[in-house]
Amino acid sequence: FYNDTYNFLTPKGEFEKVNIFNVLPSQANLIANDMMVMPIDLARKILGYGDDEASDITFSVPNPDEWNMMTDKVSALHYDLHVVNKNDVQKSYENLYNYKGGLFLILFLVVLTTFILILYQRYSMVYSTERRHIGLLRALGWSINDVLKLKFMETLVIVFISYILGLFIAYVYVFIAGAPLLKEVFLGGQNLHNTLSFVPVVDFSVLTSIFLLYALPFIAAVLIPVWRVSVTDPKEAML
């Protein structure tokens, strides 16, 4: 909304006009969504701090065993200060990422369970609905290799179509729709609204790994029962 200047309201009720030199790229919104870079003297003037005042103070204690003691001493001398040491910051981030990692694990388990059910359904379908079809092909003179080649090509077409369709839906969901719900789960919690812009990055190693993890079990869940039915007597298979 602001291209050239922005007016800050100081604690004294006055407006401080600041020229906008540049805008951070949208790709950096994940860490710079609420960040403004300006000279420290100008920041003091806008926030109403004097030369001997500060909003945050950092100091280094070389011995980690003394961190808690120094925290207690500073809190005792200045009860109105909020003292945070490095361990507190680390624990807060660990709790945050463990919580969001748990949500991701739940989503992953749901997807994995669904995939296993699909494999089981596909495995069972060969013994039920496709058993007579395979027996009929064998009775017509098809060899075991011919039947396996046919089912392999059918399954491969299904795998490729579903894989491409899944990539397309994922692309639309993340890069066009902005990953609703998932973005709030993994990137939410800020006081300011974060307008992220996801940048597509093509990594063929990741795409290949996803394809193999999906395709190999699916193809195996079809070809193994097809082979077991094909090696039986055609008359028994058509019963």
Q: Would you state the pLDDT for residue 82?
A: 83
Q: Is the pLDDT assigned to residue 189 strictly greater than 60?
A: no
pLDDT at 92 over 80: no
Which residues are 16's β-sheet partners? 8
Position with higher pLDDT, 238 vs 60? 60
pLDDT band (50, 70, 90) for residue 161: very high
Contacts 24+ apart (CB under 8 A), 169-175: 171/200, 174/198, 175/200
- Does the pLDDT at position 9 exceed 70? yes
Instruction: Report residue 79 as tokens.
Output: 């009860």
DSSP secondary-structure letter at 177? S
Widest distance between CA atoms in the chain: 96
Q: Is 221 exposed, middle or buried (0-12, 13-18, 19+ CB in 10 A)?
A: buried
Question: Which of 17-31, 54-68, 159-173, 183-197 is the least confident region?
Answer: 183-197
Instruction: State mean pLDDT over 190-215.
Output: 79
CB 44 within 8 A of CB 56: no
More confidently predicted of 3 and 113: 113
Could you tell me the pLDDT band of residue 158, with boundaries at 50, 70 and 90?
Answer: very high
Burial 110-132 (b: 16+ CB within 10 A, else e): eeeeeeeeeeeebeeebeeebbe
Residues 6+ positions from 155 with CB-CB distance below 8 Å: 218, 219, 222, 223
Q: In the structure encoding, which two tokens stand for residue 17, read together?
A: 């006009």
Confidence at 194, pLDDT banded by 50, 70, 90: low
Q: What is the pLDDT of residue 149?
A: 93
pLDDT band for 239, please (50, 70, 90 cuts).
Answer: low
Give the whole-angstrom CA distance, residue 73 versus residue 111. Answer: 51
Q: Which region among 16-20, 42-46, 75-79 has the lowest average model confidence (pLDDT)? A: 75-79
Tokens for 102? Answer: 């748990």
Structure tokens belonging to residue 188:
């939410």
Structure tokens at 37: 């870079």
- The confidence score (pLDDT) of residue 108 equals 85
> 3-state class of 198 per DSSP?
coil
Q: Please give the mean pLDDT across all residues of the chain.
A: 83
- Comparison of pLDDT for 197 and 181, the residue scoring more: 181
> How is 92-156 classified by DSSP, letter by letter?
HHHHHHHHHHHHHHHHHHHHHHHHHHHHHHHHHHHHHTSHHHHHHHHHTT--HHHHHHHHHHHHH
- Is a pLDDT exceeding 60 seen at residue 190? no
As a whole number, mean pLDDT of residues 65-77 equals 85
Other beta carbons less than 10 A from residue 136's beta carbon: 13
Cα end-to-end distance, the chain, whole Å = 74
The predicted structure's pLDDT at residue 59: 81
